[in-house]
Structure 1
């Protein structure tokens, strides 16, 4: 389950971002873009994120995942197409193997929603 390693890297990236922020903030939501071709299961990623952040500075933070479809480009046909996931990723018209992926490999933080942290005396 590579979601565990991805979540650890995500937590470290968010922690670095938060520590570099000029003022203390409370993170409320983390928006991710996850491509269909990354083989990351959004439900598994959400579960792993919730489990690994319990009791940390990210406890209760919502993980919002936007999936992007797998889109390839066929240079022979000069057109984009959505390959069928599975053993055959070739162009549906000329059957050339998929060699130019236009989207679907993304795995990145899109944005972080946060609010100023209020310190109580």
Structure 2
């Protein structure tokens, strides 16, 4: 379950921001952008986040996950297409291998919702 390691990295990143603030805040929600090709399971990520934030500065905060679809570009056909994860990564028209991913690899914090303590 790589969601556990991703959650640890997420918490450390938010903690760095939190510690740099002149006053403490209560973080209510962490907005993430997660690409489909990262193979991150949102439900597993939410579960790992809930478990790992217990008794921490993030306790009670929730995740809002925006999923970004996998989109590739076929240079032979000069068209974008949406590969089927785990089934068909090559171009559906000419079967050229997927070599130009336009979206779907994102994994980043978009923003935080917080309030003064």
Q: TM-score, normalised by structure 2?
A: 0.96
Counterpart of 2:101? 101
RMSD: 0.9
Distance 1:107 1:63 in 2: 13
Question: Does residue 16 of structure 1 match 2:20?
Answer: no
Aligned length: 117
Query: Could you report, residue by residue, the CA deviation over 1:57-89 in whole angstroms, capped at 9, with x for unpaired residues?
Result: 111101110100000001111111001111430
Matches within 5 A, 1:1-121: 1-117=1-117
CA drift of 1:23 comes to 2.6
Runs of 4+ in 1 over 6 A off after TM superposition: none
Question: Which 10-residue stretch deviates more, 12-21 or 85-94?
Answer: 85-94
Q: Which runs of 5+ in 2 are unaligned?
A: none
| Alpha-carbon distance between aligned partners in 2 of 1:54 and 1:19, rounded to the nearest angstrom | 18
Structure 1 CA distance for aligned equivalents of residues 60 and 54 of structure 2: 7
Task: Give the Cα separation in 1 of the matches to 2:26 and 2:59.
Answer: 11
SS of equivalent to 2:34: strand
Name structure 1 gaps, 5 residues minimum.
none
